[in-house]
A = this chain, B = another copy of it.
Amino acid sequence: QLTQLISAAFIPKLLAGKKILMTAGPTYEAIDAVRGITNRSSGKMGYAICQAALEMGAEVVLVSGPTALATPHDAQRIDVQSAAQMYNAVKQHVAACDIFIAVAAVADYRVAQVSEQKIKKSAAPLTLELLPNPDILASVAALANPPYCVGFAAESENLATYAEQKRLAKRLPLLVGNIAQQAIGSDDNELILFDDAGMHPLPRADKLTLARQLMQYIAQHYEGDFS
């Protein structure tokens, strides 16, 4: 931790004065008073990116789903549960930001009929109707004057194809791909950056190391998109 603090002190403040809005962690979609749908995201990759952005001098608003992680020092953290709550928090803060990084594993679906009371167990099968959630990242990227938008794609197969499709469909300057099974919950990861120039792999390393490399890449590339 001390060595981390000391090495952070020598990192060039490439993002001084920049405002970053980001999301991290899973979301939780209630089924009833106690049950819900979530995913295996631990929030570690997002929190590492938050940490790396702060080290480079950025101001960071971190909209976080439920995680057990400590808030990086100096981040402004907003806790949410559902995708709808995350979307509202993002809408409130997006106008002020220069860069938007969507790391959260947002639930693609919510439960159509949320029960306020705990559903009693019965021996019969149960059917859950799910409705698609709004796409937070696509909505931000489609704004008239959008921030520089960075997306994440966690895929269990066909990463390169799905990631580039996602980047083009959402019109993102930069999309970060990773393999869900390797990435989620783990301390290490392996990233592939997709942008107009092609694919840039960041080899397997701990998440803070990767986060610093990613933020370095963002700092070097995002100005170009505004010029």
Measuring CB to CB, which residues of chain A are less than 8 angstroms from any residue of chain B? 31-41, 68, 105, 107-109, 112, 116-118, 120-132, 154-157, 162, 180-181, 184
A156 to chain B, nearest CB (A): 4
A40 to chain B, nearest CB (A): 6
Once the chains are docked, how many angstroms separate the CA of A225 from the CA of B191?
59
What residues of B have a CB within 8 angstroms of the CB of A181 in the complex?
33
**Choice from B36, B130, B155 contacting A40 with Cβ under 8 Å:** B36
Taking a contact as CB atoms under 8 Å apart, the answer to whether A125 and B118 are in contact is no
Q: How many copies does the complex hold?
A: 2
**Choice from B34, B108, B157 contacting A105 with Cβ under 8 Å:** B34
**Choice from B32, B124, B129, B184 contacting A127 with Cβ under 8 Å:** B129
**Choice from B33, B37, B124, B156 contacting A156 with Cβ under 8 Å:** B33
Taking a contact as CB atoms under 8 Å apart, the answer to whether B37 and A35 are in contact is yes
Best-buried of A31, A32, A107, A154 by chain B (most CB within 10 Å): A31
Taking a contact as CB atoms under 8 Å apart, the answer to whether A118 and B155 are in contact is yes
**Choice from B35, B112, B132, B154 contacting A34 with Cβ under 8 Å:** B154
Taking a contact as CB atoms under 8 Å apart, the answer to whether A34 and B184 are in contact is yes
What residues of B have a CB within 8 angstroms of the CB of A122 in the complex?
132
Taking a contact as CB atoms under 8 Å apart, the answer to whether B125 and A112 are in contact is yes
Once the chains are docked, how many angstroms separate the CA of A128 from the CA of B107?
15
Nearest chain B residue, comparing its CB with the CB of A118: B156
Taking a contact as CB atoms under 8 Å apart, the answer to whether A109 and B126 are in contact is yes
Taking a contact as CB atoms under 8 Å apart, the answer to whether B125 and A128 are in contact is no
**Choice from B32, B105, B128 contacting A130 with Cβ under 8 Å:** B128
Taking a contact as CB atoms under 8 Å apart, the answer to whether B121 and A108 are in contact is yes
Once the chains are docked, how many angstroms separate the CA of A108 from the CA of B108?
23
